[in-house]
């Protein structure tokens, strides 16, 4: 995630009051150019971002899936781990969506920022925006946990192959590309532009979904589908807590095993 992968898809903050945007074609490659006081920055095409994402996330993605597999195997075959998982599930059931908010706020919001501080060669967000990360990912935690509960209500709580496949399909083909990733994209562009709505709209432009969200969707499919399937193979009460751990491990993998300039992508959904 740079620790949050969506940040790699956002332009640097626009500081000038004079901002224009246009779409141009250069050697048959479509790019979006944002101009500020005569200076322009061309953003990479969706195809280039997807190719870069595939290269950058191949090994980290395999490691993430290995982590997810180890967590699931630990639950089913290691009694001590199973008891620990069940204790977390019981605590979550006690406080409900309060757990959802604070858990993802910690695992996807605050911990990755702390980890970034251990890597001074990476670009750092100022402490002033840390509350944004905490609140944004807390709200996403409530959305994601509610989505898990909705899927269980509609499709049941079974862990058979068919039920898992249906839930993965709904997650990766509907929830992530139509809600979660667009929300991540828009909110982080807004944050990067100093929480200025007008500047965020200019930076996003009319083709924001195909240029920014679509590469995130493809990267999520490449990296996350096996991990999401493993999450849905667990009982409902454990799906969200295990997703939190996987999300945090993803941040750690990207921070320590990828190049600082590599594009990185978060699932932001499951």
What is the predicted pLDDT for the residue at 140? 95
In a domain, 265, yes or no: no
Contact criterion met (CB below 8 Å) for 24 and 33:
yes
Indicate the helix (H) or strand (E) that contains 34.
strand 29-36
**Across 12-16, 121-125, 132-136, 177-181, least confident range:** 12-16
Domain total in the chain? 1
In a domain, 183, yes or no: yes
Predicted model pTM: 0.77
* Average pLDDT of span 140-159: 96
Q: Which residues pair with 21 in a beta bridge?
A: 34
What is the predicted pLDDT for the residue at 194? 92
What is the predicted pLDDT for the residue at 254? 57
Band (pLDDT 50/70/90 cuts) for residue 139 is: very high
What is the predicted pLDDT for the residue at 165? 97
In a domain, 171, yes or no: yes
Residue 65 in this model has a pLDDT that exceeds 90: no
* Average pLDDT of span 115-141: 84
In a domain, 270, yes or no: no
Residue 88 in this model has a pLDDT that exceeds 60: yes
Q: Which domain holds residue 55?
A: 5-257
What is the predicted pLDDT for the residue at 269? 54
191 token code pair: 């944050």
Residue 259 in this model has a pLDDT that exceeds 50: no
What is the predicted pLDDT for the residue at 153? 97
In a domain, 263, yes or no: no
In a domain, 172, yes or no: yes
In a domain, 97, yes or no: yes
In a domain, 262, yes or no: no
* pLDDT tens sequence across 220-233: 888 889 999 999 99
% pLDDT > 70, the chain: 70
Residue 42 in this model has a pLDDT that exceeds 90: no
* Average pLDDT of span 23-51: 51
Half-sphere exposure of 166 (CA within 13 A, CB side): 13
Task: For the chain, give percent helix, strand, coil, nearest 5.
Answer: 70, 10, 20
């Amino acid at each position: 995630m740079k620790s949050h992968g969506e940040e790699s898809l956002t332009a640097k903050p626009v500081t000038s009051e004079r901002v224009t945007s246009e779409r141009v074609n250069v050697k048959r490659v479509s790019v979006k150019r944002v101009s500020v006081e005569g200076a322009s920055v061309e953003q990479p095409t969706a195809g280039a971002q997807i190719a870069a994402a595939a290269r950058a996330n191949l090994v980290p993605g395999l490691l993430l899936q290995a982590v997810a597999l180890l967590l699931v195997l630990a639950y089913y075959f290691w009694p001590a781990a199973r008891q620990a998982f069940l204790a977390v599930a019981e605590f979550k059931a006690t406080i409900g969506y309060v757990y959802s908010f604070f858990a993802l706020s910690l695992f996807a919001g605050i911990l990755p920022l702390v980890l970034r501080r251990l890597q001074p060669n990476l670009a750092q967000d100022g402490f002033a925006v840390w509350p944004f990360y905490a609140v944004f990912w807390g709200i996403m935690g409530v959305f994601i946990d509610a989505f898990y509960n909705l899927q269980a209500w509609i499709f049941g709580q079974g862990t058979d192959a068919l039920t898992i496949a249906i839930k993965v399909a709904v997650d990766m083909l509907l929830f992530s590309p139509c809600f979660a990733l667009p929300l991540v994209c828009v909110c982080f562009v807004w944050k990067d532009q100093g929480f200025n709505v007008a500047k965020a709209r200019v930076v996003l432009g009319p083709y924001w979904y195909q240029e920014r969200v679509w590469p995130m969707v493809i990267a999520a499919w490449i990296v996350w589908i096996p991990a999401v399937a493993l999450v849905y193979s667990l009982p409902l009460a454990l799906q969200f807590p295990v997703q939190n751990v996987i999300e945090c491990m993803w941040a750690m993998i990207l921070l320590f095993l990828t190049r600082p300039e590599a594009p990185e992508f978060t699932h932001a959904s499951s």
